[in-house]
Amino acid sequence: MNHFLGLLILSLCIATVFSLVNRSETTERIKYFLTLMGYMVVGSLLFAWLMYLLA
């Protein structure tokens, strides 16, 4: 298993729990889930790219 797959699995778990806890309606949960997934994956890739440039 590579690191990107691990990142996706961790983001999936965290976004699922947070969307179930923080939102009450199904459509709000789906929007919140997709937003969190996007922020976590894109943010992690940007941070990894920044670390690559600094190393």
pLDDT tens string, the chain, 55 residues long: the values are 799 899 999 999 999 999 999 999 999 999 999 999 999 999 999 999 999 999 8
Q: pTM to 2 decimals?
A: 0.85
Concatenated DSSP letters for 1-21?
--HHHHHHHHHHHHHHHHHHH
Residue 11, domain extent: 3-54
- At 1 the pLDDT is 73
Residue 53 identity: L
For the chain, the domain total comes to 1
Residue 24 identity: S
